[in-house]
Amino acid sequence: MLEWLDSSEGSGVKVSQVYDSVTTGLQAFYRTKLLPIERDHLFHQFYSPELTDADFASAPMVLLMGQYSTGKTTFIRHLLQRDYPGMRIGPEPTTDRFVCVLHGDSDSVTPGNALVVDHELPFTQLSHFGNAFLSRLEASRLSSPVLEGLTLIDTPGVLSGEKQRIKRGYEFEAVVKWFADRVDMILLFFDVSKLDISDEFRRVIQATKGNDHKICILLNKADNVTTQQLMRVYGALMWSLGKVLDTPEVARVYVGTFWDQPLKNEKLRELFEQEENDLYTKIAQLPRSASLRKVNDLIKRARLAKVHAMLLDYFYKRMPTFFGHAKEQERMIQDLPNIYQEIAVQKGIPLGDFPDPRMMQQILTPMDFSTFKPVDGEKLQALEALLAVDLPKLLQLIPEEQMRHGIGDAAIAQVV
């Protein structure tokens, strides 16, 4: 099981070295060149909170989701070849919280309230979800070579029918969305005996929207049925998934049985082994592709911050000196799509970089535009240098061989 991990130590450059220097680079660039302009223009109020060093340093994360008893926790045990502290496995709904399974020198469990104040970890923002959620969050630490390059997020199974009505006391889908936006891979678990996609599960899947490319699907316990039944079940799964995910690209489904027990049905052993192997290879590549994704994410964020600064600068400069604030403000909010056009042409910014106008109109309405700041020329220059010089240089640190996995091309296409 663990051999696959070694494959992450690639040819030539050590993955971890690259990883470290990219992390340090990103942290410094963010603090000096992006954060100042974000702060000037209330970026964190509009989009997402300030990033911490931990957000850049964190190991790639894998989120495991699915209906209850589909084998999520068992999969983690199989991957780690041991139990994690606080782990429970059983035929009834067992995992009742979000568990961040992390590397640690010794075994320990940290409750949610303590976890979100640890600035070494990228979970501080979770405090916004409130106490009801924090009592359903914990970190489980253990020593495992797998976890040196990877953090796993175990989650409570999605319930259906009767049970789903008994509310959880916190916004499950919002939490899922928070994780989905931040993790590097989302594993959706299905098992051959529990295929129907309940309404709650559908909403949960939809909460991952915008992160479809991270989704891998596991059809678990596949040896529990005959080949013909498996074909039916698998076909039905793809049939309905195609509708729920609603992307033309077909999601990759790994068919197999992801645990330590011997196969109940030997007929498809070869297939199951290949599928398991493919999945582990993909997971093993995560640490490599994570640096790339982080650079990519920062590029996206920097481009948005630039547009946002232009926009607030535009509003500020058009506010009348004495009277008619409210009216002019109102007019500009209405006229937002045209203002986008105007700025896009003037500054040569692609329209696709602009934020969703409806979302903006909502946030802008209660604000007072005369409190906005004009763009600081120096800060803008720093931001532009970041986009034109610094981040592309950082990308070059990542050896070509690693670029081939995943998002490399997309990231480059955006920089050029």
Ligand X SMILES: Nc1ncnc2c1ncn2[C@@H]1O[C@H](COP(=O)(O)OP(=O)(O)OP(=O)(O)O)[C@@H](O)[C@H]1O
Shortest spacing between CB 114 and ligand X, in angstroms: 23
Residue 364 binds which of Mg ion, ligand X, its own copies, none (CB < 5-8 A, kind-dependent):
none
Task: Give the C-alpha separation, 202 to 39, whole Å.
Answer: 37
Residue 236 binds which of ligand X, Mg ion, its own copies, none (CB < 5-8 A, kind-dependent):
its own copies
Contact between residue 93 and residue 132 where contact means Cβ atoms under 8 Å apart: no
Shortest spacing between CB 204 and its own copies, in angstroms: 19
Residues near 346 by beta carbon (within 8 Å), at least 6 away in sequence:
none
* Residue of 95, 124, 208, 402 interacting with Mg ion (CB under 5 A): 95
Is residue 263 involved in binding its own copies (CB under 8 A)? no
H helices within 166-268, ranges in order? 172-182, 199-207, 227-245
* Residue of 33, 41, 72, 379 interacting with ligand X (CB under 6 A): 72
Give the nearer residue to Mg ion in terms of CB position, either 62 or 307. 62
Residues near 53 by beta carbon (within 8 Å), at least 6 away in sequence:
27, 119
Closest residue by Cα to residue 158 from 98, 104, 218, 114: 98
**CA of residue 246 relative to chain centroid, distance:** 19
| Residue window 73-112: x/- pattern of binding to ligand X, with contact defined by CB under 6 A | xx--------------xxx-xxx-----------------
Q: Which range in 36-44, 61-69, 103-111, 269-277 contacts ligand X by CB under 6 A?
A: 61-69
Closest residue by Cα to residue 336 from 354, 322, 316: 354
Q: Which residue shows structure tokens 């999520």?
A: 72
* Rounded (10°) angle between helices 286-318 and 377-385: 150
Closest residue by Cα to residue 331 from 299, 297, 301, 369: 369
**For ligand X, which residue has the nearest CB?**
157
Give the nearer residue to its own copies in terms of CB position, either 253 or 397. 253
Is residue 258 involved in binding ligand X (CB under 6 A)? yes
Site for ligand X in 356-415 (CB under 6 A): none
Is residue 172 involved in binding ligand X (CB under 6 A)? no
Is residue 242 involved in binding its own copies (CB under 8 A)? yes
21-49: burial string, b at 16+ Cβ within 10 Å, e else? ebbebbbebbeebbbebbebbbbeebeee
Give the nearer residue to its own copies in terms of CB position, either 231 or 359. 231
| Residue window 144-163: x/- pattern of binding to ligand X, with contact defined by CB under 6 A | ------------xx------
How many CB atoms are located within 10 Å of the residue 362 CB?
11
Give the nearer residue to ligand X in terms of CB position, either 264 or 327. 264
Tell me the residue ranges of DSSP E strands in 118-184.
137-142, 151-154
Q: Which range in 142-150, 245-253, 344-352, 364-372 contacts its own copies by CB under 8 A?
A: 245-253
Phi and psi torsions of 155, nearest 5°: -135, 160
CA atoms within 13 A on the CB side of 105: 0
Residue 71 binds which of ligand X, Mg ion, its own copies, none (CB < 5-8 A, kind-dependent):
ligand X
Give the nearer residue to its own copies in terms of CB position, either 241 or 312. 241
Which residues lie near ligand X (CB under 6 A)?
Answer: 66, 68-74, 89-91, 93-95, 156-157, 189, 220-221, 257-259
